Amino acid sequence: MPHINAVVKHIPLQYLALGTTKVGDEACILGNIFRRHGRYKQAMELYERALTGREKALGVDHPDTLSTVNDMALVFDRQGQYGKALEWYERALAGREKALGVDHPDTLSTVNDMGLVLDRQGQYEKALEWYERALAGMEMALGVEHPDTLSTVHSIAMAFDQQGQYVKALEWYERALAGEEKALGVDHPDTLTTVHNMALLFDNQGQYEKALEWYERALAGEEKAIGVHHPHTLTTVHNMASVFHKQGQYAKALEWYERVLVGEEKALGVDHPNTLTTVHHMALVFNNQGQYEKALEWYERALAGREKALGIDHPNTQNTLRSLVNLYQRTGQIKQAQTLQARSHAPRSPRN
């Protein structure tokens, strides 16, 4: 984004000191671009410039000022600074309730965003309180089939899902799906996300045939809507392979893992964490089949990639390392096992 960097350098900060809103608007636009590209430090600098100008020119409770406050909360959220995100969302919410009213869409968006932060913190009960508050307002202000309303319904389903309350989660996923299919269409990405999450729910409950049915439905839509090499599509392929693996259908599992591996290597690269997870899972299948030579080959490949991409101390790297140690021991390759075990964080197994 070198052209954007050049523009940023020419934003005249003295205009902000004079209370000029035009530059504040430009700073916000550029901040949004940086935020969407994950350039959070630069986005925050621009939002701070915009906030300074807007507070001076428009006042602290002006909708544009409050929009910037909300954008800053969003950056903290994306950075995982949830405490700061909640602080800034609360500031935006207090201002929006005063300036716009409790049922204004912008106010309700902030209410929903606070639920999302609490959700990411694992505070599911609190998150549900905020989601329900947002939902009640959205249904009244926007309608039950508005995409924002349906997004909140989906978030409620996910909060129940995360808590293992699968019956309630399924009820809310079905509600979201019915609305999304009607309002957005069966092949819309949001609709397909709900279909995929329903498959995951059945998968987590061990209802593998139902899971496969819903994964297949998600996959057909994703291949059509976003393409065969999109990361979301590849995740669905990987999850189907995983179901076959758990069912003991090893030949099918390998077929689907190979399919996802080809796509991940092309779309993400050979050293991407998702690619290496697939490599590790292929090793697991060969191990379960008793094809130990092939399993060793794939574990070694996974270990080399994970060590390079994630570092030796990463939990995924250590998991592959321990799997390889165990397989060396099982196949009587004690020297190799001992050499590798020295790099593992797990305690050595006592001798028999």
Give residue-wise pLDDT tens across range 82-117. Answer: 999 999 999 999 999 999 999 999 999 999 999 999
Residue 344: pLDDT band by 50, 70, 90 thresholds?
confident
- What confidence score (pLDDT) does residue 204 get? 96
Domains and CATH numbers, the chain: 1-100 (1.25.40.10), 101-184 (1.25.40.10)
Ramachandran area for residue 290 (φ above 0: left; ψ -120 to 50: alpha; else beta): left
| Cα–Cα distance, 125 to 201 (Å, whole number) | 19
Which of 96, 97, 56, 92 lies closest to 75 in space, CA to CA?
92
- Both tokens of residue 340? 């590798």
Give residue-wise pLDDT tens across range 126-179. Answer: 999 999 999 999 999 999 999 999 999 999 999 999 999 999 999 999 999 999
Which of 108, 120, 43 lies closest to 81 in space, CA to CA?
120
Percent of the chain with pLDDT over 70: 91
In the block, tokens 């621009």 appear at 46
- What confidence score (pLDDT) does residue 21 get? 56
Which of 30, 109, 99, 104 lies closest to 65 in space, CA to CA?
99
